[in-house]
Structure 1
């Protein structure tokens, strides 16, 4: 990394050198105009000489021809990049053998950096810090970081001020503990009026989830502007396509944040506690 991340520094150096070489201003005047010390401008001049060492600044083949310095300067490079502040040597850097060992353990375990570090310390007896393991995995491209909890195209949650402005939808998985058969209850709640709607289906599909929202809209008698759901498989792309074709916007809650759908989660608990129970009874069908 460079000692300065200002992207305008190379352009500022080029401006200073043009004042010095093209307009032939004194070195002290250029330093005052650019707000730097004159020795700094002189170091820029030395770097400029290195960049343009292959540019021929004279015309020895035609000594009788008038020499134009301006034409030669047009072929010069003026942008001087910022040098990196990385040290030339790193005596305490992690060795290549240890780096390969960390990557091998990561390939075997296929776990996070904490588990890899614990295996190295306790099982293999290799002393290395947790930050070094994280850095090795990150540089090698193995660790991709945490997934974003909110999609970038996720619309902002509106404050419900009228019926249908925001509804929440979810699915109750009702399982028969003996046979493993399932029933799925698609629940929808309007956050302004607290009206609710439940649809039962033997399968879990995005089309059925979207149909539950549209049935609730038809039953309530007012249009639904936005539907909020979690990130389950039944609320994927096809669910969004069906609702958007009907003029209903879709937003998703954050990953592993059930409190974002607190109203529908509480309604699901009420349905299970007072209506269908927590397991599938044959009387439900």
Structure 2
């Protein structure tokens, strides 16, 4: 298993920057000056077996220092099997969804693995998308009071993994009137078309539309959807986490 230099440094059992050079100096006392390993151990204060290991490494190395190696174990009694790791990667590449969705799909197929193990595996394989430092933060607003139909409309998407399809869903919080449509893909344009189709069928005007900040409800959607909500309100559209 290959590790990056940063990974090895993070897993090192010591952070002493001078220890690699000290190891080589102690080994040279044996190799070059003819000291015994016991004498070097008394001189440096390290265990004799430690000096022996350093000497073995120094004899086969052309480096000026003996670097600090990772303290990460090569094996663990509870580590995931190669078959399970391959399955996690396969489901991730097939569904292109987050670790939680991958975990649920594995459970449906009969694989016993924890969510934390799935996350660690995806992170180790470089399959987790980290939040962009340039992405804007959306501040939540207070949930509005709902008195009549149209006061608060919630819109979201559902991913159907077996068929790799998406379902746009929209529901009125007051009346529980709902509208749904299946789509092979999701994006801001399809989200806007879905919102328009729901607006044409709902008997009351939309006053506030709520989403979960998904990429399919980003800038293009939020700027153009204002045309279908009640323009009499001072702030006709906002988004916050459900």
TM over 0.5: no
> TM-score with structure 2 length normalisation?
0.43
